[in-house]
Structure 1
């Protein structure tokens, strides 16, 4: 498609639509091979074969493609070609591009997931970019994506002018470019009086949150989904338990689970009695034995085993997707009888605490943040900082890796809540934290191991007030 447009105050400009097969495609002996698999195309006429081979080599406009087909198959071959082309579009095997007046590429529609690339018509009247569209740098180009779409638009520097215009309603955009953006789901038609993104459903979503939600809950929008082992050829799997750190460890007593089971309330009583408690008893603080029992009953490694993929897996009291158990617990101690204040890491395979940092400027922000988040009048006796060794999950899982980690955090929260309630302890899960402060205190690379959750833990005061109405818990 070739379209000439004239903006007010400018000279006429010609924009041409072109097509090619997806990058890396090869056509040989009646077989079309792409990253999506192999498609067998038997008994193709000469003109259609010539067109397919040409489309594996580069972009062609409609006139050039038709010329190849007619040269080999005659005018009658065009109908069969259009049927084949529609099939390729429906399978997402074609890429559509727009070139500018200088012949340079302006934009390209590509499949980043599993979906068709059949072009939609350009909207009539004013249009603008979706408020949820995200512009991302990748492989030397800027890529525009809409949440949940299996398609993206790669943009060259020449497209910057049009993107700037499309931040507001405009009719000054070439139709071939509008078709690419509309097909990718990144364009809003209609004008300010008919904006489809003014409803509650669209307005309440932050673009980054919606992109995260759509990417992880729409398998077709991602190139890979689930246990695809995207990094198995680059890194070995991490061990189930992190290596021991420096400094003398603090051994923890092993609780008698049979005795505990005989005296504790039933699961129903624990569930009904569970609540968030934001006050601790300073006269009778949490003890080392209580902290050790809580950790033993919630996050210790009961055993390890090797999975069929060679990854060392673990068994803990709480579940974990694929048995990867990437979560680590760092008790940040302010007041615990029998234990010096400071930041520790719980070694779940050895049931001991390893010192990480003494109290000081690096740990103080973490204590203050937990105190403020829990709306406490004094420092919490212990903050359980929950961290994830991301590589444990990301070595195996693609697209769903981080949301899987967040699910595990929720599992850990509930497990800690129930055990702490059964033990008569005060516990309160927090809704946010600072991974930068965690990295400063631990020295961990935040891209390899970062904080993903926090709970405050302490002794329950003798006269506990009603749960806070603000928290609703």
Structure 2
């Protein structure tokens, strides 16, 4: 369980006068769980036995928890707002069921003073429940994406075609081609040339560093403040070169800096208010080459990482995509949800706006990096949990949605890049 969650005491069943309520958001999933059983194999079966299990997804928990079928009605009988007497629940459903749900932090006791639980922190954010469940449930930890794809023979188009057949067509057929309105052809200009050279980079020069002036310009153009407004007392809004719902710009840029002239390699947070980098002390043990995920720091004090450890963390960040981990600079786009939900509280579209926010910033970075003569990338295949752990984020308060980056392209094409117009390869 995460820090701040309720940890039941040994004498919890003695507190018959305790008042309880359900956690703020919960989704119950009936899931078929398969397990190997030797007895089944010895009896002539396959050895794989399935059972139907219930799992509760709650955004304030780090992972879904299994609950017994007999406990499901309890969650349906207790609301997330009003406190109810535990004795009444014990009488209706049994003390064992109530105990189990308390231990799982799906039922919560009324606190004597200020509520510092993870559920209370979640309530303060203003999440729409369905969005919160989807966000928490789809985060990765310690995933090596390319390895998993290769094991399934899905790391190539041929493997995908064998397994799934042809993809849907790139364009749906016209209902009436004769009625289509053809647009006039346009003359290409220099901006079209820039757009045509904007392609995802998968081959970075692992020796080249980004010049400090170029790095500073990209940070200012993409993540910096272009202006500031004061629509109300105590309410400041910044203007960036990308749009943002409500002009709130909730997305912070955390950085994995590997090779920038004049900047020590390490973890940073870009500050929009001062156009500066705030060093971040890693809150995980130094990763080692080949690691798929991070390990807790434990009792050790945070320290600066060497280049191999930083590269290992970059690889974890992008879920094993080595070609992206070689980039000199990786930008972790992580919204502070409360900044957005302050205006769009418990709003069904608020989380979608956060996703769009990260998308806008990533594409502005793609264009600006291309104009600067650098190769950009953006990926959603990331290990959010490992990034949260290293940068000290709480998932329901701030969480990565994408990682993008940039740097000098290598002189040799090793990993294929989609460059159908041959604007980038072969390199001169």
Per the normalisation by structure 1, the TM-score is: 0.42
Whichever structure has more strand as a proportion of its residues is: 1
Per the normalisation by structure 2, the TM-score is: 0.46
Larger of the two Rg values belongs to structure: 1
